[in-house]
Amino acid sequence: MQGFLDNLIRHFGHDPATWPWTQFVYLGGMALFAFAVINFAAITAGIFSWAERRVAARMQSRVGPNRVGPGGFLQWVADAVKLLTKEDLVPAEADKILFRAAPYFMMVGFACVFVALPFSHRLVIADMNIGIFFIIAVTALIVVGIIMSGWSSNSKWSLFGAIRSAAQIISYEIPGGIALMIPVMLAGTLSTQGIIRAQGGLPWQWFVFDNPAAFVAFVIYFISALAEGNRTPFDLPEAESELVSGYNTEYSGMRFSYFFLVEWGNMWVMSALATTMFLGGWQIPGVSAATLDAATGGTAVALELLSLAIFVGKTLFWVFVVMWLRWTLPRIRVDQMMNMCWKYLVPMSFAAVAFVAVWMLVVHAVPALGLVMRAIMFVLGVAFTVFFVYRTAQNIRDTGDKFDFTSNW
Amino acid sequence: MAENVTLKPPSRQTPGAFGAYAKNIGDTAKSFFEGMSVTLSYMFRKPITTQYPDRVPVPVRDTIPPRYRGFLEVDMDICTACQACERACPIQVINIDILKGDGKTTPKLRMERFDIDIGKCMYCGLCVEPCPTGAIQHTREFEGSVQFFNNLVLRFVPDPLVPAVPYKPPKGSESFPRRPLGEITRRLIVAWDAPTPPFPTKEQLEADKPKGAEAKKGALDPAALGRQLAARALAAKEDKPKLQKVLEEAMAGTDCGDCGYPDCFGYSNAIAQGKDWAPDKCAPGGADSKAMLETIIVTLKTGVLPEQPAAPAPEGKAAVGAPAAAPEPAETQGPPLAQTLPKDELYKVVLDAMAGTDCGDCDYPDCDGYTKGIVYEGQKELDRCAPGGEDTKAKLYKIMLGTKPPAA
Ligand code: SF4
Ligand code: SF4
Ligand code: SF4
């Protein structure tokens, strides 16, 4: 985005390197982008809250919120208005300052991720050369907010939730981070845009199908992201049935909704990151990144929008998968959560890194092997998908039901 | 799913550490796969829930059983203004305001108000049972959410200045032209979302007062009417049918049977024949009927019209006048009717003494059954008619044994 602002300054006949107002333009641009990003995050989180309720309802043979607006779409606005008008309670025994500040820490940790998160070919706030590293670092800020809220609430449920969350996020940071190293190795860069450019538009050009270890890394990353986002089956920090609501028990009104904003917004973050790292990001099938760079005028705009649509489409699919998982799996126990991380994910992620390192040498020596592996992986992926669809159809048939997606919305 | 469940015993013994490790991973992957395909399959089916209330195929009230006790409904077209429902309600949910008329220029009874506070009603159904015409009934309406609690009052007389005229059921009829159940209440429910009427200010209340008095100008003055009727009764003293008609004019005329007689004719005839001297049995007529009947009865007994400032005749005066006319003691002496009359005559007299509600409280199917039991079958218990109360009991003892009933 700095390049965009520089171009703007040049357009008005100044040299950004010497013009004294350059820094102010940058500041203004930063404020503008920050505003846009936070609003984007808040609105998507709101919409996800509606979508999740609808998806959950359908999976439980219900209908879900369907009153406010078409198909209940405006439900999230109604909820937000309700939460805004509620009293902002601070418990008498709470640490007032920390209690009030905690939601903002969460929001900051969450919104900062968007700085390095790409949306389309050109649309990224800052294409940093340490993009992934930055993202992993700032998501850890959320845990500060959680511990702050749990501690300052002065309630044992909140503290339990916060401690669990800290343990969970710190543990899963390790396999998650290592799994993300695999696309970094394959692409040879930490920049999110660079990683996307290293992949292609067609599925077998994605990193997830590059080799078995990359696929395993994708799964490990996804599981870790679920855990870091406190999503089911890793929602121990806010387990309603045991902890009332975990670290946010004592919160009410808008401050409470910040926590949920972060949780739902996180679905976008984790899915967008998965798309970026493993699933070819905004790459348009059949159009290379170089063509995109070279395009000008109307074509450039059209291609840009297409790449945006592709990126958003992939991301939304994974958001849906996250919701789908939530309504499929029960919550796991704390010991199971720890077991899974340290006994399974961590060793496997190390093994995957080692495998990829070796594999890269092999492919470097015999490039044809890489192609064969991609082809096999892709065919297996398609077979898996087909079998899955078949099983699902069978599940419907077995109960004598029939496919009916449209009625009774 | 079923074919997937394998009941084979595990082929190997406990797997080694690595085997268990790999098996755990495999199990996890498999349960993810199966679980997610099940949940996804539900996503594509029709939800089993129905959206209440506007997407149900038929209104919910039409799907609940016909004897459901929902909101009450009164069909004012067949309501006789007997107020039996109001008296039956154990918690005073029903409020009926009666406007009395003289029976000539204005109807004798009119209802200025017939309110049922659904917010208080406990749906016990006690008000439905005594209704002689089935005017008051439970509907199957049950959706009572309102913005203002006061709106839960159902007003069956919409405008107190246009009082409702009671229905006069044809003699002996057993079915009444009731409007389809629910129609009326449904119309009233529509108004439930209206903002509640504001409380009247003090000025408005003051301003209303003379207006209220004016509205009642056509209403009767019970004392004056009582004297008027008494004069006519005195003139017709010997002509029993005429006397009966005069007496009936003092009654509410709802034929509700609350007096223990089948209808107003029964009660007035009993007085005209000198069989009953109690002036206070007409509950619908209230204090007015009582005052008028008292005036007439006293006049009949003494043969003198009461003085102009006709305060309701005190009890003492009636007692003084009693020995003169004294048909009552004459009857109490002598042998009981049971010994003098033939059985068929006796049957008629006994039947007349019953409350006539055919309620079956006496363990006989109806009044007729109990009467036959006493007259022909030697039934000795004479205190079974609960609706008739002390009066019926007293009469039965007098007729059958010639004594007063034993003190309770
Ligand atoms: S149903 Fe019961 S409570 Fe309701 S009005 Fe009738 S008698 Fe009263
Ligand atoms: S006729 Fe029925 S509804 Fe009317 S006052 Fe009598 S009992 Fe009530
Ligand atoms: S005289 Fe008897 S039947 Fe007639 S209105 Fe009065 S109580 Fe009812």
More confident residue, B302 or B216: B302
Q: Which two tokens stand for residue B191?
A: 């108004």
For B307-321, what is each residue's pLDDT tens digit? 655 444 444 444 444
Residue A290 in any domain: the answer is no
What value does the mean pLDDT of chain B take? 78
What is the H or E stretch that residue B74 is in?
strand B72-74
Span of A88-97, B88-97, B99-108 with lowest mean pLDDT: B99-108
For B95-142, what is each residue's pLDDT tens digit? 888 887 766 777 777 888 898 998 899 999 999 998 888 889 999 988
Mean of the pLDDT values across residues B159-178? 82
- Indicate the top mutation candidate among B83, B99, B179 to test ligand 2's pocket, ranked by most ligand atoms within 8 A of CB: B83
A405 touches chain B (CB under 8 A): yes
Mean of the pLDDT values across residues B199-225? 63
Q: From the CB of B133, is ligand 2 less than 6 Å away?
A: yes
More confident residue, B292 or A13: B292
Chain A residues in contact with B48 (beta carbon < 8 A): 61
Q: Are residues A107 and A165 in the same domain?
A: yes
The parent domain of residue A316 ranges over 86-284+297-357
- Does A61 sit within 8 Å of B39, measured CB to CB? no
- Indicate the top mutation candidate among B67, B94, B139 to test ligand 1's pocket, ranked by most ligand atoms within 8 A of CB: B94
Q: Which two tokens stand for residue B260?
A: 């223990």
Query: How far does A260 lie from chain B, in Å, by closest CA?
Result: 24
Query: How far does A406 lie from chain B, in Å, by closest CA?
Result: 8
- Indicate the top mutation candidate among B85, B251, B265, B271 to test ligand 3's pocket, ranked by most ligand atoms within 8 A of CB: B251
Query: Using an 8 Å Cβ cutoff, are A173 and A258 in contact?
Result: no
Q: Are residues A17 and A165 in the same domain?
A: no
pLDDT of A248 higher than 70: yes
More confident residue, B323 or A93: A93
Q: Residue B126: what pLDDT?
A: 92
Q: Residue B307: what pLDDT?
A: 65
- Picking from B24, B38, B47, the nearest residue to A58 by CB comes out as B47
Q: From the CB of B136, is ligand 1 less than 6 Å away?
A: no
pLDDT band at A383 (very low <50, low <70, confident <90, very high): very high
Residue A22 in any domain: the answer is yes
- CA distance readout (Å), B200 to B191, B193, B207, B208, B213: 20, 20, 10, 10, 18
Q: Which of A396, A399, A402, A406 to mutate to test the interface with B (most CBs of B within 10 A)?
A: A396
Mean of the pLDDT values across residues A306-331? 88
Mean of the pLDDT values across residues B230-255? 82
Residue A137 in any domain: the answer is yes
- Does B1 sit within 8 Å of A398, measured CB to CB? yes
Q: Are residues A90 and A57 in the same domain?
A: no
Q: Are residues A4 and A107 in the same domain?
A: no
Q: Residue B332: what pLDDT?
A: 47
Output the CA B114–ligand 1 centroid distance in Å: 14
Span of A258-272, A281-295, B84-98, B157-171 with lowest mean pLDDT: A281-295
pLDDT of B323 higher than 50: no
Q: Which two tokens stand for residue B264?
A: 């107003």
Which residues between 25 and 54 in chain B have a beta carbon less than 8 angstroms from any beta carbon of chain A? Answer: 25, 32-51
Long-range contacts, A336-339 (Cβ 8 Å, 24+): A337/A168, A337/A171, A337/A227, A337/A234, A337/A236, A338/A167, A338/A171
Q: Residue B330: what pLDDT?
A: 42
Residue B96 CA to residue B209 CA, distance in Å, equals: 20
Where among A79, A113, A144 does a domain terminate? A79
pLDDT band at A139 (very low <50, low <70, confident <90, very high): confident
pLDDT of B46 higher than 90: no
Q: Are residues A240 and A145 in the same domain?
A: yes
Nearest to B232 by CA among B272, B282, B259, B267: B272
Where among A18, A44, A79 does a domain terminate? A79
Q: Are residues A202 and A270 in the same domain?
A: yes
More confident residue, A238 or B75: B75
- Output the residue whose Cα is nearest ligand 1's atom 6: B127
Q: Are residues A217 and A325 in the same domain?
A: yes
Residue A133 in any domain: the answer is yes
Q: From the CB of B85, is ligand 2 less than 6 Å away?
A: yes
Proximal ligand: closest to the CA of B357: 3
- Does A396 sit within 8 Å of B44, measured CB to CB? yes
Q: Residue B344: what pLDDT?
A: 84
Mean of the pLDDT values across residues A251-259? 82
Phi first, then psi: what are they for A324, rounded to 5°? -60, -45
pLDDT band at B12 (very low <50, low <70, confident <90, very high): low
Q: Residue B322: what pLDDT?
A: 40
Residue A160 in any domain: the answer is yes
Q: Which two tokens stand for residue A196?
A: 């996307």
Determine whether B351 is exposed, middle or buried from the number of CB atoms within 10 Å of its CB (0-12, 13-18, 19+).
middle
A61 touches chain B (CB under 8 A): yes
Q: Residue B74: what pLDDT?
A: 92
ipTM at complex level: 0.77
A329 touches chain B (CB under 8 A): yes
Q: Residue B328: what pLDDT?
A: 44
pLDDT of A149 higher than 60: yes
What value does the mean pLDDT of chain A take? 83
- Picking from A63, A325, A395, the nearest residue to B1 by CB comes out as A395
Q: Residue B318: what pLDDT?
A: 43
pLDDT of A188 higher than 80: yes
User: Which residues, including other chains, have CB under 8 Å from residue B179's CB and lie 6 or more apart?
Assistant: B75, B77
Residue A224 CA to residue A136 CA, distance in Å, equals: 12
pLDDT of B238 higher than 70: yes
Q: From the CB of B126, is ligand 1 less than 6 Å away?
A: yes
For B277-295, what is each residue's pLDDT tens digit? 888 888 888 888 888 888 8
- Indicate the top mutation candidate among B67, B71, B73, B89 to test ligand 1's pocket, ranked by most ligand atoms within 8 A of CB: B89
Point out the ligand 2 atom lying closest to the alpha carbon of residue B84: 7
Q: Residue A400: what pLDDT?
A: 74
Q: Residue B329: what pLDDT?
A: 44
- Picking from A55, A343, A395, the nearest residue to B38 by CB comes out as A395
Output the CA B193–ligand 2 centroid distance in Å: 28
Span of A45-49, B367-371, B383-387 with lowest mean pLDDT: B383-387
pTM as predicted: 0.64
pLDDT band at B359 (very low <50, low <70, confident <90, very high): low
pLDDT band at A165 (very low <50, low <70, confident <90, very high): confident
Between chain A and chain B, how many beta carbons pairs sit less than 8 Å apart?
74
Q: Are residues A101 and A71 in the same domain?
A: no
Residue A408 in any domain: the answer is no
Instruction: For A327, name the nearest residue in chain B, comparing CA atoms only.
Output: B39
Q: How many domains does chain A have?
A: 3
Q: From the CB of B118, is ligand 1 less than 6 Å away?
A: no
B326 touches chain A (CB under 8 A): no
- Does A401 sit within 8 Å of B46, measured CB to CB? yes
B4 touches chain A (CB under 8 A): no
pLDDT of B257 higher than 70: yes
Q: Residue B320: what pLDDT?
A: 43
Radius of gyration of chain B (CA): 34
Mean of the pLDDT values across residues A319-348? 86
Mean of the pLDDT values across residues A177-198? 86
Q: A122: helix, coil or strand?
A: coil
Q: Are residues A169 and A51 in the same domain?
A: no
A203: preceding bond cis by omega (within 30 degrees): no
Q: Are residues A274 and A179 in the same domain?
A: yes
Q: Are residues A371 and A264 in the same domain?
A: no
pLDDT of B195 higher than 70: no
Q: Are residues A65 and A180 in the same domain?
A: no
Q: Residue B90: what pLDDT?
A: 92
- Report the alpha-carbon angle B183-B77-B69, nearest 5: 45
- Does A395 sit within 8 Å of B37, measured CB to CB? yes
More confident residue, A404 or A170: A170
Query: How far does B283 lie from chain A, in Å, by closest CA?
Result: 53
